Structure formats: structure tokens, C-alpha cells
Amino acid sequence: MAKAAQESLKLLMPKATSVWLIENTALSFKQIATFTGITEIEVEALANEEIGKGLVGRDPIEHGELMREELDRCETDPSASLVIAKRDLPAAKVRSKGPRYTPVSKRGDKPDAIAYILKNNPEISDAQICKLVGTTKPTISSIREKSHPNTPNLRPRHPTELGLCTYQEFEAAYNKGLKAAGKDPETIKAQREAALLATQDTGVQNNPSDASAGGFDFSNFMPGSVFPSDGETSKS
């Protein structure tokens, strides 16, 4: 009876829900397919934008079709299956975690953001990258292995610069990755700041004129200066 009752519960917009789960969770394609009732091949096609291009994701938590605790449970256990929430009573609005829906205009920036994180922040796990950027694990693997179709044109750029996540979300993921690796975030942060200050001090010592002129040489614009182009001294 319980199984029959569960099967009678269906999502209102399964493909739109699949898009949201793809972009905002670390669930596998199989888990998403089982929950939404579409095939695993369709889920992968949605993830690669081979179908449903421009389809706006639908948050099942916000619409009372999925509990946050249920999502957390299945994200930590790839073999678990999501259970649709019963909607006997109006569900309270729940603000979901993770990044908001990524506009179509910014989806092309995702590979650049992934490339940046893989290069500069290897401590951040693939699951965290999925949440930060709104991507999938197969996409991350293809960029890591340089098999992504756009590999020659990738320009690693910070995800916050691209507007794919907030600075606070990025820092939280970075700190979580450091802790998972057995490192203290505060210690690493202090080391980074010390290294940055040392680099700046070295630059000033090697180029003292840069410090007084703001890093720009104005000598060529002063009266009596010699321009390399004509080799003649300007007459004042």
C-alpha cells in the first residue's frame, strides 16, 4: 500500500525539476531519473543541453515535492533513491541551499569557472563544484581530462567574477575542502596573505620608482625627455 501510494505521487514538471536537480545538487543521473520518472538518457541529454535548451529549472523543495533532509540523505548516499514528499497539506516555503538558477546567457561561462577551480583550488570537491557552478560531475571530469569539446578555448576565470556564485559560497566550499584535507583554513589564509605581502614588498624593492609613481613611468611625458621614436630632445 505504501509503495502504491508513493507511485501515485508524480511531479508536476519532471523535466524542469530534472534541470534544477542537475544544476543545484550532486545527485547522479540515475537518482534524478528515478525521482523524476524520465529516463537516465534524457537526464544526461538535459545536462549536456542536447534537449530542453533554455528550460527553466523548477525547485521541488520550494514547491513541496521534496524535503531538504531527503535531498541531503541521497546526496551523501549515491545508492539511495529520493522519495517524493506527500502533499496532504500546503508545504511551507523552504529556501534551498546552493546557487540560484543559472541564466542561459551565463551557462557558457561554466567551463571557464570549472577550469579555474580545478587549477587553483584542487581542495574543492567535485560535489562542491557542482553546487557552486551548477554543473555535473561528467562535465567536470571532461574538463579535468581535457576531453571537453571546448577545451582549446577555455579561459580559467573565477566563478564569482562570472556571477555563478557569491564570494561567501566560494569561501565556504574552499574552507570545507581544506578541512576535509586535514588543513586549518585560518592557517592557510594567513600563509596566503603573508605570501602576497612578501610578493608586493619584493616588487617595491626591485622597482622603487613604481612605488612613487603608482607603477607608471611618467618620465617620457616630462619636458626635455627623449622619445625613442624620433631620438630628438623636446624643446621647451
**Domain extents for the chain?**
9-76, 104-180
Single-letter residue type at 198: A
C-alpha cell at 141: 571530469
d(CA 52, CA 182): 41
For all residues of the chain together, what is the average pLDDT?
A: 77
Crossing angle for the helix pair 29-36 and 40-47, to the nearest 10 degrees: 120
Q: Is residue 227's pLDDT more than 70?
A: no
Nearest-5° Cα angle at 14, 108 to 92:
100
pLDDT digits (tens, 9 = 90+) for 97-145: 444 455 545 567 889 999 999 999 988 999 889 888 888 889 999 999 9
The predicted-structure confidence for 172-212, as pLDDT tens digits, reads as follows 888 888 888 888 878 877 787 777 777 766 655 666 555 44
CA 67, chain centre distance (Å): 23
For residue 165, what pLDDT is reported? 84
| Predicted local confidence at residue 224, as pLDDT | 47
Per the listing, cell 630628438 goes with 232
Largest distance between two CA atoms of the chain: 99
Residue found by looking up cell 564570494 in the block: 167
Tell me if 134 sits within 8 A of 103, measured CB to CB. Answer: no
CA distance 66 to 6: 13
The predicted pLDDT at position 5 comes to: 41
Report the distance separating Cα 108 and Cα 134, nearest Å: 12
pLDDT, residue 226, reads: 47
Query: Is the confidence at residue 88, as pLDDT, over 60?
Result: no
> pLDDT tens digits for 206-220?
665 554 444 445 444
- What is the per-residue DSSP string for 32-58? HHHHHSS-HHHHHHHHTTSSSTTPPP-
Of 41 and 211, more confident: 41
Report the pLDDT value the prediction gives residue 186, as an integer from 0 to 100: 83
